[in-house]
Structure 1
Amino acid sequence: MQKWKIFGKNFTVSNKGLTYFIGICSSPNNLANNTAIIQKENNSSYVLGKLDQVNFVRGDNWILLTYRNGDPYKNICNNSIRSASIMFVCGQNTTDPTVLQAHTDTDQHCDYMFELQVSEMCPAVEKNKKLSGGAIFLIIFFSIAIAYLVIGAVFMHIKHGARGLEHIPNFEMWRKLGNSAADGCDFCCRCERSSPRAGYFLDESGPDMRDDDILSP
């Protein structure tokens, strides 16, 4: 909570003729008696909770901060001690607390509940990632290729009555190019090598000694 922008700030909210002074981990109006929330009605004021009596509960997407040890009720609510809770939720309206529950003439709740939106509780929104140069190139390349094939196929069908693979524009050129590429790969990647056959071989660098052996007496 210390990293929140609202940490240590004070808020004032009015509801049904009552005014509330709320401190977020601080005393409203710079009071020095650990007061956290004050309720004012006409000329009367009541402490709803103090900073030295705090309960903190955290949920998946909310935080409940409860201030206890407020002023006691008189002749109502079984003379219990006042307490007030603040529900922190995700939101951008960080300046206007909402009164969810209070003790009034028409609402006989003995505990008080406020809601305050906190922008820091909202999940981080990922910024739009820009496309890389390679992605843009691929998009343009495939767009042109698809347009080339579609428009070319329609043209070949209407103009020349093409059928089957003949719909491919410049089909003969692409076939020859594919065959040339296949021959090149075959030449570069060929593993077998021709080897000389078994038997005699002619050595033209010198005389054939076999004839001399046959002709000698």
Structure 2
Amino acid sequence: MAQTTWWRLLAFFVLMVTKAQTTENTSRCKMYNDSDRKVLSVLEPLTNQNFTVTTKNGEEEYTYVFQVCGDADGVKDAGVVQKSKGNTVIVIGNYSVTEAFKGSDWVLLIYQGGEKYHEHCSKGSRKAMIMISCDRTKAAGPLSVVLEDRERNTDCFYLFEMDSSVVCPLIESKLSTGSILLIVCFSCLAVYLIGGFLYQRLIVGAKGFEQFPNYGFWSEIGNLSADGCDFVCRSRGSREEPPTYRGVSTEPLEEPEERDDHLLPM
């Protein structure tokens, strides 16, 4: 009983450590609502990666760097940063102030608390919104800039977009019952043949056709099938039917005995 208890405790410990490791990186995001943290667990495979995009507007050129719950371009607490030609870095949004929303095939990640505008948006804080959509052909990226909405009085934002297969819904198996049974049967047959072959060759030391499992039985399967068919489908009795005409007997008539006593010498 004590041994069983120890095994259960060990299994529980391993499960908890594995679960902690699978959400270790996304746990660095500080959420408004901890109940939405399970949305971030979907994005765990995208962590520890910088996604970049460069845009040009006339003579102006900007490079945006995005990271999931990590320091974008090495800037502490910054989820999205903007870099200009003069290496001026502006924090667009912090992962220390994060929101996440999930749909059937998309995740919207929002970083708030960026640097304040100098002239636009009533000098409010910048905000980054990253829409991650399902694309089964792409592991992640590329990142693209959709727009920068800074002409409103409040709540201005940058909108980014990228594709990834990690947000795609799981494809449910559509195998029928018959297909599943066939797969199980072929799997069992493969195990029987391979296991039997290895046993006959390595343990028994058989050679040639004798390596085939139960070779004696399978070599006689044709004869056994024929015997079974003969037993079931064929009659073992006489095929001659007794005649019913006027009650004539089927027994052979006895021929009169030839007497040759008169040939004997007297």
Q: Considering fraction of residues, name the structure with more helix.
A: 2
Candidates 10, 14, 22, aligned match of 2:50: 10
The Cα of 1:81 is off from its aligned counterpart by: 0.5
Partner deviation per Cα, 1:103-145 (whole Å, 9 max, x = no partner): 5xxx8573101112120222334678595669xxxxxxxxxxx
Paired residue secondary structure (1:29)? helix
- Higher Cα radius of gyration: 1
| TM-score (structure 2 length as normaliser) | 0.43
- Runs of 4+ in structure 1 off by over 4 angstroms are 126-134
Aligned position for 1:121: 167
Paired residue secondary structure (2:45)? coil
The Cα of 1:45 is off from its aligned counterpart by: 2.2
| TM-score (structure 1 length as normaliser) | 0.52
Q: Considering fraction of residues, name the structure with more strand.
A: 1
CA contact (8 A) 2:106 2:168 kept: no
Aligned position for 1:34: 77
The Cα of 1:74 is off from its aligned counterpart by: 0.6
Aligned position for 1:192: none
Paired residue secondary structure (1:54)? strand
CA contact (8 A) 2:90 2:115 kept: yes
> Higher mean Cα deviation, 79-88 or 119-128?
119-128
Aligned position for 2:106: 62
CA contact (8 A) 2:147 2:160 kept: yes
The Cα of 1:25 is off from its aligned counterpart by: 0.9
CA contact (8 A) 2:62 2:83 kept: yes
The Cα of 1:101 is off from its aligned counterpart by: 1.5
Cα RMSD over matched residues?
A: 2.6
Q: 1:81 is aligned with what amino acid?
A: S
CA distance in 1, matches of 2:65, 2:164: 18
Count, aligned residues: 130
CA distance in 1, matches of 2:134, 2:70: 21
Structure 2 runs not aligned, ≥5 long = 1-39, 184-266
Alignment of 1:5-154 (within 5 A): 5-16=45-56, 17-31=61-75, 33-43=76-86, 44-91=88-135, 92-93=137-138, 94-102=140-148, 108=151, 110-125=156-171, 131=179
Aligned position for 1:191: none
Change (3 A) 1:133 1:61: closer
